[in-house]
Amino acid sequence: MWWAEDPSAFTSNHRDSWKWTLLSFLPEWVTEEHVQAATSKALAKKIQLAQQVQILELTEGSAHQALHIGSFVDVGPIL
């Protein structure tokens, strides 16, 4: 999920202002306890980004989905 305070950052290629959240589908049986156990294991391996893992339930309205094929440099206008 990508966003920027100023959406023109995507077309002007100001990547330092791009913000993102990596989302992954989780089965319903995955609990907070599962996430905490996995986070603890990752932190023990010095994977600091594990601190940011959380379970989110999104209820979205209209959305846009696009498949970009090509260089990451050219993804801005798609976003």
Strand 2-3 and strand 19-20: pairing?
Answer: antiparallel
Q: What percent of the chain has pLDDT over 70?
A: 100
Q: What global pTM score does this model have? A: 0.60
**Residue type, position 15, single letter:** R
**Is the per-residue pLDDT at 58 higher than 80?**
yes
Give the bridge partners for 34, in sequence order: none
* 3-state DSSP assignment of residue 57: coil
Alpha-carbon span 69 to 78, nearest angstrom: 10
Confidence of residue 44 (pLDDT cuts 50, 70, 90): very high
Are 4 and 18 spatial neighbours (Cβ–Cβ below 8 Å)? Answer: yes
